[in-house]
Amino acid sequence: MSRYHLSKKLHVLWARRTMAAFVLATLLCAGAAATNWAGALYILTGADDSAIILDGTGTAPDFSSQMVDVSTGSGGCDITLTAGQSVTVRSGEGTVSAVSRKDTVSSLLSRLRVIPGPLDMVGVDVSGETVVITVASDLTYYDEVKEAVSCETVRVANPDLPQGTEQVVQEGSDGYRTSIYEVVWSNGQEISRQFVEELDSTAVDRIVEYGTAVKAQTVSGSDPLVSVNKNADGSGTLVFQSGATLNFSNAKTMTATAYTSGHDGVGTRTASGTTVQVGTVAVDKSVIPLGTRMFIVTSDGIVYGMAVAEDTGVRGNKVDLYYDTYQQCINFGRRSCTVYILE
């Protein structure tokens, strides 16, 4: 059986907004049975964190929104409890338990000699088996509301995009969200409404990717190396005649040989899947990982220049440098070299 009665006059208005917490709650407009208690504000809350506000404006309740203004006197509405309903009343005088005699909340409070002051509020919580009525000058409750929300722009780093560029990967759209707010009333006025959490939203974020890839440092093969500046930790800078520089993290002394396609079973594809060309270097990938960028100079002054570890086929502290012709490989032979590992 319902704990509350709903008058015919309000039935259509109630149907305009179904709220699960108030399926058992009703409001009865006061008429001949009006009480002389009319000054306090009602806050009716339920299990789904929705709230209805009942104050002294004298207008009929409009249930098209969660916050409703009605009066509690002879010209307004009051909450009527079903006979036999258990009620707990909390006030500054303490806590009292009672059983409804089909009272309105105001008449029940009068019967229990709990008279709200002009700035007091009456919180009516119908979420449990027992109706809890709180009379206080300060009340806090949680309000669940549906509200319009604008889409947000989310920026995501993309290491494959060049630094300084960006692209939209998802267009956004506005929508609605269901939100929970903590609401504080004091002395008959709402003084605080703080967002607590978002339960759901139909808004779609706009996603923008921005590039973080830094263009690799490079120099022309015709730009002579003029100096090498080394740091104590083994890193340093290569300085070229044009003023260009290359930073390196380490310098390795290694043995260099040369190879070309079409000889000794060498094809045109590297172990990395790229096509062989001058600048392609075969390495022992346990010594130098594939993909490593290098600048190579032999101990007798031959500048092989910019190179990338893209191929395999050597073991240990060696590098095999690609040349276009077999004769260039013969001329190069075997030499000691310095391999600068570029940053």
The domain that holds 259 is classified in CATH as 2.40.40.10
Residue 259 Ramachandran class (φ > 0 left, ψ -120 to 50 alpha, else beta): beta
The helix (run of H) or strand (run of E) holding residue 242 is none
Same domain, 83 and 169: no
In a domain, 270, yes or no: yes
Same domain, 23 and 128: yes
- Domain with residue 170: its CATH number is 2.20.230
* DSSP assigned state of 3: S
Question: How far apart are alpha carbons 40 and 120 in whole angstroms?
Answer: 6
pLDDT at 42: 56
Same domain, 131 and 147: no
Same domain, 186 and 66: no
In a domain, 1, yes or no: no
Alpha helices by DSSP H, 101-154: 105-111
* DSSP assigned state of 79: E
Q: How far from the centroid of its chain's Cα atoms is residue 79's Cα?
A: 42
Residue with tokens 């075969």: 282
pLDDT at 43: 60
Same domain, 245 and 190: no
Same domain, 229 and 196: no
- Whether 39 contacts 56, CB under 8 Å: yes
pLDDT at 71: 31
Instruction: Give residue 93's domain range.
Output: 8-136
End of a domain among 120, 136, 152?
136
pLDDT at 29: 33
pLDDT at 59: 42
In a domain, 65, yes or no: yes
In a domain, 110, yes or no: yes
Same domain, 53 and 84: yes
Q: Are strands 245-259 and 318-322 parallel, antiparallel or unpaired?
A: parallel
Same domain, 22 and 129: yes
Same domain, 37 and 127: yes
Same domain, 231 and 318: yes
Question: How far apart are alpha carbons 109 and 306 in whole angstroms?
Answer: 90
End of a domain among 97, 113, 136?
136
Same domain, 76 and 99: yes
Question: How far apart are alpha carbons 275 and 310 in whole angstroms?
Answer: 9
Same domain, 73 and 122: yes
Long-range CB pairs of 90-96, under 8 A, 24+ apart, other chains included: 90/132, 90/133, 90/134, 90/135, 90/136, 91/134, 91/135, 91/136, 92/135, 92/136
pLDDT at 231: 93
pLDDT at 268: 86
pLDDT at 73: 36
User: Which segments in the chain show pLDDT lower than 70?
Assistant: 1-79, 188, 214-216
The dihedral formed by the CA atoms of 222, 227, 230 and 234, expressed in degrees to the nearest 10: 30
Closest CA relative to residue 297, chosen from 200, 226, 201:
226
Tokens of 22: 């108030």
Counted domains in the chain: 3
